[in-house]
Structure 1
Amino acid sequence: MNATPRDDELTRAPMQGAALVTGGSAGIGYAIAHMLAADGWAVTVCGRDADKLASAVRELGPRAHAVAANLARSGAAESVLAEHLDRHGQLDLLVNNVGSGGLASIETKKDKALDLELNLNFRVAFQLLRASIPSLRESAATRGKSNVVNVSSLVARQTPPNVSVYAATKAALVALSNSAHGELSRDGIHVTALLPGFVDTPGASWASAAQDTMITADDVAESVRFLLRTSPRCFVPELMLTTSGPTVLHSPVDWETPDH
Structure 2
Amino acid sequence: MEQVAGDISGQVVLITGGGTGIGAAVAERFAAEGANVVVVGRRIAPLEEVAGRLGERVHALAADASDAASARSAVSWVIERFGRLDVLVANAGGHGFSPVGETSDEEWASSLNVNLSTAFVMAREALPALLEGGGGAIVVVSSLAGLYAGPSVAGYTVGKHALIGLTRSLARDYSRRGVRVNAVCPGWVRTPMADAEMDEFAAHAAEIPDREAGYAAVTADVPLGRPAERAEIASIVRFLGSRESSYMTGAVLVADGGAHIVDLPTLAFDHAGM
Question: TM-score normalized by structure 2?
Answer: 0.79
Contact 2:96 2:108 in 1 (8 A): no
Residue in structure 1 matched with residue 253 of structure 2 by the alignment:
239
Residue in structure 2 matched with residue 176 of structure 1 by the alignment:
166
How far has the Cα of 1:63 moved from its partner? 1.8
Residue in structure 1 matched with residue 47 of structure 2 by the alignment:
53
Cα deviations by residue, 1:104-158 (Å, 9 ceiling, x for unpaired): 121111222211111121112111111111211233x2xxx51101110111111
Counterpart residue type for residue 88 of structure 1: F
Equivalent residues in 2 for 1:243-254, closer than 5 Å: 243-245=257-259, 247-248=261-262
Picking from 30, 44, 64, the partner of 1:36 is: 30
Residue in structure 2 matched with residue 160 of structure 1 by the alignment:
150
Residue in structure 2 matched with residue 220 of structure 1 by the alignment:
233
Residue in structure 2 matched with residue 5 of structure 1 by the alignment:
none
Residue in structure 1 matched with residue 175 of structure 2 by the alignment:
185
RMSD: 2.1
Cα deviations by residue, 1:153-203 (Å, 9 ceiling, x for unpaired): 111111122111111111111001111111111112110111111111000
In our comparison, the structure showing a higher alpha carbon Rg is: 2
Contact 1:195 1:241 in 2 (8 A): yes
Residue in structure 1 matched with residue 201 of structure 2 by the alignment:
none
Matched residue of 1:200: which SS? coil
Counterpart residue type for residue 191 of structure 1: V
**Alpha-carbon separation, structure 1, partners of 2:181 and 2:262:** 23
Equivalent residues in 2 for 1:60-209, closer than 5 Å: 60-73=54-67, 75-139=69-133, 141=134, 146-205=136-195, 206-207=197-198, 208=211, 209=213
How far has the Cα of 1:42 moved from its partner? 0.4
**Alpha-carbon separation, structure 2, partners of 1:249 and 1:180:** 32
**Alpha-carbon separation, structure 1, partners of 2:258 and 2:142:** 19
CA distance 1:130–1:22, change in 2 (3 Å): same
Moved more, 170-179 or 233-242: 233-242
Question: TM-score normalized by structure 1?
Answer: 0.83
The percentage of aligned residue pairs carrying the same residue is: 34
Q: Which runs of 5+ in 1 are unaligned?
A: 1-13, 251-260
How far has the Cα of 1:73 moved from its partner? 4.1
Matched residue of 2:101: which SS? coil
Moved more, 82-91 or 178-187: 82-91
Counterpart residue type for residue 242 of structure 1: D
Residue in structure 2 matched with residue 27 of structure 1 by the alignment:
21
Q: Which runs of 5+ in 2 are unaligned?
A: 1-7, 199-210, 217-225, 265-274
Matched residue of 2:102: which SS? coil
How far has the Cα of 1:248 moved from its partner? 4.8
Matched residue of 2:138: which SS? strand
**Alpha-carbon separation, structure 2, partners of 1:236 and 1:210:** 34
Cα deviations by residue, 1:197-231 (Å, 9 ceiling, x for unpaired): 11110001213344252111111101022221425
**Alpha-carbon separation, structure 2, partners of 1:91 and 1:180:** 17
**Alpha-carbon separation, structure 1, partners of 2:56 and 2:239:** 24
Contact 1:152 1:196 in 2 (8 A): yes
Contact 1:69 1:80 in 2 (8 A): yes
**Alpha-carbon separation, structure 2, partners of 1:163 and 1:185:** 32
Counterpart residue type for residue 155 of structure 1: A
CA distance 1:249–1:202, change in 2 (3 Å): farther
Contact 2:168 2:250 in 1 (8 A): no
**Alpha-carbon separation, structure 2, partners of 1:158 and 1:249:** 13
Contact 1:198 1:204 in 2 (8 A): yes
Cα deviations by residue, 1:44-79 (Å, 9 ceiling, x for unpaired): 101122221111111121121111123344522212
Residue in structure 1 matched with residue 269 of structure 2 by the alignment:
none
